[in-house]
Amino acid sequence: MTALLVADAISKRFGGYLALADVGVQIRAGDIHALIGPNGAGKTTLFNIISGVAVPTAGRIAFQGQDYTGRRADQVLAMGVARNFQHVRLFPGLSIVENVMIGCHARMGSLLQELLSYVRLEPRAERDARDRALEVINFVGLQGRIAMLPGELTLVDQRRLEIARALASGPQLLLLDEPAAGMNPSEVNQLDTLIRQIRDSGITVLLVEHHTRLVMAVADRVTVLSAGRVIADGPPSIIQRDEAVITAYLGDSQ
Ligand SMILES: Nc1ncnc2c1ncn2[C@@H]1O[C@H](COP(=O)(O)OP(=O)(O)OP(=O)(O)O)[C@@H](O)[C@H]1O
Ligand SMILES: [Mg+2]
């Protein structure tokens, strides 16, 4: 069976610095696939390449068997690959529902076009987008916060809102970059449940996360990056016992 996403021999150079070196990753449809590794390993760089925010220096990337190397972020989003950002990016002047509605229109074009089209939406289309936004707001557990502005939300709720916006675009693959950062144990448990619900709704998830316990609990498969290279790939039970992974990353944090 072809993987949903295949990154093949990806390299990324920033000036003289090689941030990714010959990285290969295959993400199976229906999996929660985790990408872990030390700070600076290249995880966000790989996310940027998969989501079209960055172009690889070398290598190819394919979604559902189709090469899309070099496509822009809005084209990649329209194809069915959505993401959050490691550092939350929301529209502070728009309401929570409007922030999510922008995601509903993601398939129409670039973010700016989305904003413009949102302003000029037909009443019917606007109603549909609002209904869809409320549905995903409910799904991520933010229904009690819709009267607030994004800036009034806690960081954890801002992360939920970013996930809602990504989900509103109707993705087949959702990329989550450190969604548990800054969360307390009970919030991490809620996130664990949410990620499983997302997967169970038919969306494949690629998760970058330093929260090892969360990763090992939810992931079907784990790829480990260190200094821009894949040092291990497999199910969590194998990864947890991998000597190279323990030395490079896990240490005695487990
Ligand atoms: N735009 C850029 N220009 C120059 N160097 C960059 C750029 N983006 C990333 N890097 C470098 O590439 C390396 C990989 O960075 P990246 O952000 O992908 O790491 P990461 O695995 O996501 O780390 P973290 O766990 O801290 O988020 C780092 O050394 C970083 O400084
Ligand atoms: Mg990162």
Q: What is the pLDDT of residues 34-63, one digit of tens each?
A: 999 999 999 999 999 999 999 999 999 999
- Report the mean per-residue pLDDT for the chain: 90
Please list all protein residues whose beta carbon sits less than 5 angstroms from ligand 2, which is an ion.
43-44, 86
CB 148 within 8 A of CB 92: no
Is residue 80 scored above 80 in pLDDT?
yes
In what helix (H) or strand (E) does residue 158 lie, and over which residues does it extend? Answer: helix 155-168
C-alpha 39 to ligand 2 mean position (Å): 7
For ligand 1, say whether the CB of 45 is within 6 Å of any of its atoms: yes
CATH 3.40.50.300, applies to 1-80+172-254: yes
Partners of 229 in the β-ladder: 226
Q: What is the pLDDT of residues 160-209, one digit of tens each?
A: 999 999 999 899 999 999 999 888 999 999 999 999 999 999 999 999 99
Q: Over range 70-95, report the average pLDDT.
A: 87
Please state the domain extents for the chain.
1-80+172-254, 92-170
> pTM (2 decimals)?
0.91
- Residue 68 DSSP class: -
| Ligand nearest the Cα atom of residue 37 | 1
- The string over 193-218, giving b where at least 16 C-beta atoms fall within 10 Å of a residue's C-beta and e elsewhere, is ebbeebbeeebbbbbbbbbbebbbeb
